[in-house]
Amino acid sequence: MTNDLFTGMGNLPLLSADLWPAWVAGGAIGLFAFAQRWLTDQPLGCSAAFGNVCARAGSRLPLFQGDAHSPATDWKIWFLVGIFLGGLFASVSTGTWAAPAHFGAFYDALMPQTTLGRIAWWLFGGVLIGMGARMAGGCTSGHTINGVAMGSPASMVASMLFFAAALGTAHLAQFLLKLSGGAA
């Protein structure tokens, strides 16, 4: 990665960098969140879109009803499709496409050893995250990027709880790994 991101703009070094500097990535997210709110009068986030997909798929659970029957929210479904396709395009076009099931010794020590077992845990975790986001009235991006920026007290509390839960979970996982005799 180059330190001088804006020299030689003809070859766009920023787009080919492995990681963007925090100020560039944060600024881009902030500008996108602002544009999103300004153009659609809707906050940036994914949990409402997942609710819409679930409702369109026929979910009868109130938690997953979303706004599926409102044409004004159909763009949210395409937003999800764009996230997936954009990530796929970026990884394929840069030659970094991979579908790993292993993410290091710490992760491997805590997860089932079979790919099928890992997929089951990923799906279970995804369901828990989806339910939590719907119950909290928004996902981490919706609360932390938009809600905090708009000064929402509920989003500030939710964001603090997200960080506290992440720290607690990491420490608990490390403790359990040490307790089981694994390397931490």
For residue range 6-17, what is the model confidence (pLDDT) as tens digits? 444 445 566 666
φ, ψ dihedrals at 6, nearest 5°: -105, 10
> Residue 2 domain-assigned?
no
Contact assessment for residue 140 and residue 162, using Cβ atoms and an 8 Å cutoff: yes
* 1: pLDDT strictly greater than 50: no
Q: Which domain holds residue 157?
A: 102-184
Instruction: Give the HSE-up count for residue 171: Cα atoms under 13 Å, Cβ half-sphere.
Output: 6
Contact assessment for residue 52 and residue 73, using Cβ atoms and an 8 Å cutoff: yes
- Tens-place pLDDT, residues 68-81: 556 666 777 888 88
Contact assessment for residue 46 and residue 140, using Cβ atoms and an 8 Å cutoff: no
> Residue 160 domain-assigned?
yes
Q: Structural domain tally of the chain?
A: 1
> Residue 118 domain-assigned?
yes
Please tell me the least confidently modeled range out of 9-13, 71-75, 93-97, 149-153: 9-13
In the prediction, which pLDDT does 120 show?
92
Q: Which two tokens stand for residue 182?
A: 């694994």
In the prediction, which pLDDT does 167 show?
95
> Residue 114 domain-assigned?
yes
> Residue 106 domain-assigned?
yes
Alpha-carbon gap, residue 69 to 65, rounded angstroms: 9
> Residue 79 domain-assigned?
no
* Long-range contacts formed by 175-178: CB under 8 A, 24+ apart: 176/110, 177/106, 177/109, 177/110
Looking at residue 114, the DSSP 8-state letter turns out to be S
Helix axes 115-135, 47-56, angle to 10 degrees: 100
Based on its alpha-carbon atoms, the radius of gyration of the chain, rounded to whole angstroms, reads: 19
> Residue 132 domain-assigned?
yes
> Residue 179 domain-assigned?
yes
Contact assessment for residue 138 and residue 47, using Cβ atoms and an 8 Å cutoff: yes
End-to-end CA distance of the chain: 30
In the prediction, which pLDDT does 10 show?
47
